Amino acid sequence: MGTEELAHLEMVSTIIHQLTRGLSMEEIEKAGLGPYYIDHTVAVWPQSAAGIPVNACEFQSKGDPVTDLFEDLAAEQKARSTYDNILRVVNNIPEIADPIRFLRAREIVHFQRFGEALNVVQDQLNSKNFYAFNPSFDKPAFCSCENECGCS
């Protein structure tokens, strides 16, 4: 999925490039892209709608499968809702709306796959584990009593 997510970035970047290629300075200013142009001309610079550049803080991981899968699920939903917002703005222009609808559909599939993975992970946990944490973290790190204390 990681490779596919990079392909999503490439598709969105291509759309942005196609929409901004050949703009006059007047069009750039009128569109509110003046500050962006000063820093990047019309090159594609991955950033949020608020102008915050994409960085490693966007990628979250804790090393715990349950935590990481919930983070993945949330990321897919945030991407889907961003595509929903884009579709509201583009007024059904086919050259923009069609690839965005495709990307939105992929986010839904990714959400489903991560949900399936979460079910598999949770099925492997202790059935009494209501909070869905990794019980192996609650075992003693070291015990020299050779199981006299009941640790395993």
> Do 93 and 80 fall into the same domain?
yes
Task: Look at residue 136 and tell me whether its pLDDT is greater than 80.
Answer: no
Pair 70, 106 in one domain: yes
- The answer to whether residue 111 scores a pLDDT higher than 70 is yes
Give the residue numbers spanning the domain of 88. 60-125
pLDDT tens digits for range 86-95: 999 998 899 9
User: The pTM is what?
Assistant: 0.73
Q: Which pLDDT score is estimated for 90?
A: 93
Task: Give the angle subtended at the CA of 36 by the CAs of 93 and 51, to the nearest 5°.
Answer: 80
Q: Helix/strand/coil (H, E, C) string of 24-74?
A: CHHHHHHCCCHHHHHHHCCCCCCECCCCCECCHHHCCCCCCHHHHHHHHHH
Mean pLDDT of 129-140: 64
Domain assignment of residue 77, yes or no: yes
Q: Is the same domain home to 53 and 74?
A: no
Q: Is residue 142 part of a domain?
A: no
- Assess if residue 45 is contained within a domain: yes
The tally of domains found in the chain comes to 2
3 plus 29 within the same structural domain: yes
- The whole-number average pLDDT for the span 44-73 is 86
Residue 145 belongs to a domain:
no
Residues 120, 74, single domain; the answer is: yes
